[in-house]
A and B are shown apart, each in its own frame.
Chain A
Amino acid sequence: MVGIMIAQTLSEQILSHAAGHPVRAGDVATVSVDLVMMHDSLSPSIIKVLHEELGAERVWDAQRVAVVIDHVAPASNIQTAEKQAGLRQWVRDQGITHLFDVGRGISHQVLVEEGLAQPGLVIVGSDSHSTAYGCVGAFGTGMGTTDIALAAATGRTWMRVPETVLVRAIGRFRPGVSAKDLGLRAARILRADGATYASVEWHGIDFLSIGDRMTLATLSIEIGAKAGLIPPIGPAASGLRIPDWLAVQAGADYVRTVDIDLSHLEPQVSAPHYVDNVVDLTELGRVAVDVVYLGTCTNGRYEDMAAAARILKGRKIASGVRMLVVPASSEGLRQAAEDGTLRTLLAAGATIGTPGCGACIGRHMGVLAPDEVCLFTGNRNFRGRMGSPQANIYLASPEVAAATALTGYITHPQDVLER
């Protein structure tokens, strides 16, 4: 990239590298892809397009396709079991080495834990929350069946280089407030389509863990973004392989800048049935819940379970409330088991599911009944998302989830910590 004098956003840097020539926001470019992720839900259709429509016999590079069984894991019925069996056979036939089977966890979390997601890479996934890979400074984006089949067959994809919306955090969180609140606050300001066709860069969060960065990267799609990038700097980035050409450049062009002062941020709650329907928890009034669900690629990691455990320690969840914990990965579950986090959650009355997407897509493992209310640490509260279209889903942080489980209504973490 020698000779480029014009400052570039992180997306422009990565896509220029992947295109092999300098590109700017608005350009349509064909880029090489470093990693293609496909999960169990769309893989059968991807494989069909690959072989039957594109006429490709093999994926372009068996080492650079990752297959994850996370969407219905373990299988919920004969159809899904049969399709998963077919997928495992296909993986063997193709010589694909990166298969992450039932129980390993959610694709995004797993690919980061495995070190497959690294700064500066272009990663396309058959899942809208593939923006997650921005947590390490990769350009991650979600695509559908046909685009993923084409990328898997050719190692390339076409893309309109996105403009960038800059979200700048200032200060530090108050107790009981965390990355989820920052993400929901950004959704409240930018709205569900505020970054459509654009990329989001999250600055001022160098102190956050990779996991907390993934909370923000996954929420980027909920404001419409193509990618959500966090610069790979700060203590959490020390183990990453950072290319020398990737860094925030002074003078890069941002179409919009949003400043959020963390030191004044209250816990945020996204009320039914849209992610950008966000209010301060204190404005919400009393909302009784039936289910508290801690999980997903947005907030189901070890640190999320640990944050909940710090609030639940020595306490019992309210009578009549069900608290489901579905870890984002087996590695997170192992950590929680080793340091006593899991014991605390179980002692408080929570129950644990197989690491994976769980009930986030409303297919199994905690589907909601009509009129049930769920406090969910996930990323979507769309009508019918987790089951009945008559259920109500509120999105909030793991800290709010734990406080809510203790009282039975949506509760500020400080209110239970001060009792």
Chain B
Amino acid sequence: MARVWMFGNDVNTDQIIPGRYAPYMLKNEHDLRKYPFVEARPDFAPNVEPGDLIVAGPNFGCGSSREYAPLALKMVGIGAIVAPLFARIFFRNALNLGIPCFTADLTQTLRDGEQVALNVEQGVILTERGMRIELPAPPSFMREIWSAGGIVPYYRAYGRFPGEQRA
């Protein structure tokens, strides 16, 4: 089972990782895993478990291009992020790192702290309350990047960008 971590609207990358906690600023870059939501939600990093689900309102990840924001979420093993709208740089960064992002509004459907089972491949969430939630399927090129493990393994495997025709 996975825990639901509920966040509000317009969660920015300074909230996910303040600039002062960038790998650039750290003595040990692996410490990044200690700092997701360090100020915005201090109970997150000590309690998050691999596979847990972030559910948020619109414009999740707005602000900076800092890839270490989704990287920190990857380091703690976030299973997926579900929001009705993602800020575009965050979305690309998360896609590139292979973090599943589903575009849907579950802020009124799920509750913070609730236990759910998430099947990323099928895009299905089952709740302890007996709900079955089907997530909208992402475009095929995104699923291809996820299944390759991110854009770098994708590019190394295919020698091209998604949708690119190479002579």
A: residues with CB less than 8 A from B are 28-30, 40-42, 44-45, 49, 53-55, 71-72, 77, 79-80, 83, 125-128, 130, 142-147, 149-150, 154, 156-158, 192-193, 196-197, 224, 226, 274, 361-363, 380, 382-385, 387, 389
Q: Is B114 an interface residue (CB 8 A)?
A: no
Query: B14 on the interface (CB 8 Å rule)?
Result: yes
Q: Chain A contacts of B88 at CB under 8 A? A: 196-197, 224, 226
CB pair A224 B151 closer than 8 Å = no
Give 13 A-B pairs besides A196-B59, A385-B14 with Cβ atoms closer than 8 angstroms: A44-B23, A44-B24, A72-B24, A79-B24, A128-B65, A142-B65, A143-B65, A144-B92, A154-B155, A158-B164, A383-B14, A384-B15, A389-B39
A190 CA / B12 CA spacing, docked (Å)? 17
Cα distance, A71 to B151, chains bound together (Å): 26
Nearest CB of A to B109, in Å = 21
Bound Cα distance from A80 to B19, whole angstroms: 13
Decide if B25 touches A79 in the complex (CB within 8 Å).
Answer: yes
**In contact, A193 and B141 (Cβ under 8 angstroms):** no
Beyond A44-B24, A192-B59, whether A144 also contacts B15 by CB under 8 A is: no
Q: Are A142 and B18 also in contact (CB < 8 A) when A30-B161, A44-B23, A384-B39 are?
A: no
Residue of B19, B68, B87, B163 touching A361 (CB-CB under 8 A)? B19
Count of interface residues, chain B, beta-carbon cutoff 8 Å: 46
- Cross-chain pairs A/B with CB under 8 angstroms, 22 sampled: A29-B163, A41-B24, A42-B24, A54-B152, A72-B25, A79-B25, A142-B89, A146-B97, A146-B150, A150-B155, A156-B161, A193-B10, A224-B88, A274-B10, A361-B19, A362-B18, A362-B19, A363-B22, A380-B63, A382-B63, A384-B39, A384-B40
Within the complex, what minimum Cβ distance (angstroms) separates B50 from chain A?
22
The answer to whether residues A49 and B152 also contact, given A144-B93, A224-B87 and a CB cut-off of 8 A, is yes
| B163 to chain A: closest residue by CB | A28
- Contact call A193/B58, Cβ cutoff below 8 A: yes
Of B12, B65, B161, B163, which contacts A144 at CB under 8 A?
Answer: B65
- Interface pair B152/A53, CB less than 8 Å apart: yes
Shortest beta-carbon distance, B158 to chain A, in Å? 12
Question: Could you say which residues of chain A place their CB within 8 Å of the CB of B160?
Answer: 30
Whole-angstrom CA separation of A150 from B71 in the bound complex: 17
A139 to chain B, nearest CB (A): 14
Whether the Cβ atoms of B161 and A383 lie closer than 8 Å is: no
Out of A145, A361, A362, A385, name the residue touching B67 (CB < 8 Å).
A145
Is the Cβ of B15 less than 8 Å from the Cβ of A383?
A: yes
Q: How far is the CA of A192 from the CA of B11 in the complex (A)?
A: 11
Contact of B40 among A29, A143, A362, A383 (CB under 8 A): A383
- Interface centre among A49, A127, A156, A384, by most chain B C-beta atoms within 10 angstroms, is A384
CA distance A380 to B13 in the complex (A): 11
Residues from chain A with a CB closer than 8 A to the CB of B151 are 146-147, 150
Q: A147 with B59: in contact, given A28-B162, A361-B19, A382-B12 (CB under 8 Å)? A: no
Tell me which residues across on chain B come within 8 A of A42, comparing CB atoms: 24, 65-67
Residues of chain B within 8 A of A40, CB atoms compared: 24
Among residues 45 to 97 in chain B, which have CB atoms less than 8 Å away from a CB atom of chain A?
A: 58-59, 62-68, 70-71, 85-89, 92-93, 96-97
Number of A-B contacts (CB under 8 A): 141
Contact of A30 among B19, B58, B163 (CB under 8 A): B163
Residues of A within 8 A of B25 (CB): 72, 77, 79-80, 363
CA distance A144 to B89 in the complex (A): 7
Is B129's beta carbon under 8 Å from chain A?
no
Q: List chain A residues, Cβ under 8 A from B89.
A: 128, 142-144
Check B27 for interface membership: any CB of A closer than 8 A: yes
What are the 8 A-B residue pairs with the smallest beta carbon separation, nearest first? A144-B67, A361-B19, A144-B93, A158-B161, A193-B59, A30-B164, A145-B67, A146-B96
Nearest-neighbour CB distance to chain A for B159, whole angstroms, equals 10
Q: In the complex, which residue of chain A has the Cβ closest to the Cβ of B160?
A: A30
Q: In the complex the two chains form, what is the Cα distance from A339 to B71 in whole Å?
A: 47
Contact for B68 among A45, A226, A380, CB less than 8 A = A45
Q: How far is the CA of A144 from the CA of B74 in the complex (A)?
A: 15
Is the CB–CB distance between A54 and B14 below 8 Å? Answer: no
What is the bound-complex CA distance between A311 and B78, given in angstroms? 51
Distance from B138 Cβ to chain A, minimum over Cβ atoms (Å)? 13
Residues of B within 8 A of A380 (CB): 12, 14, 63
Which residues of B have CB within 8 Å of A224?
59, 62, 87-88
B residues less than 8 Å from A361 (CB atoms) = 19, 64
Select one of B20, B23, B96 contacting A362, CB under 8 A.
B20
Q: Which residue of A lies closest to B164 (CB)?
A: A30
Q: How far is the CA of A149 from the CA of B155 in the complex (A)?
A: 12
CB distance from B76 to the nearest CB of A (A): 18
Q: Let me know if B30 is at the binding interface, CB within 8 A.
A: no
Q: Output the least CB separation between A148 and chain B (Å).
A: 8
Q: Is the CB of A196 within 8 A of B87?
A: yes
Q: What residues of chain B lie closer than 8 Å to A149, measured between beta carbons?
A: 152
A192 touching B19, Cβ below 8 Å:
no
Known: A193-B58, A385-B14. Is A128-B163 also a contact (CB below 8 A)?
Answer: no
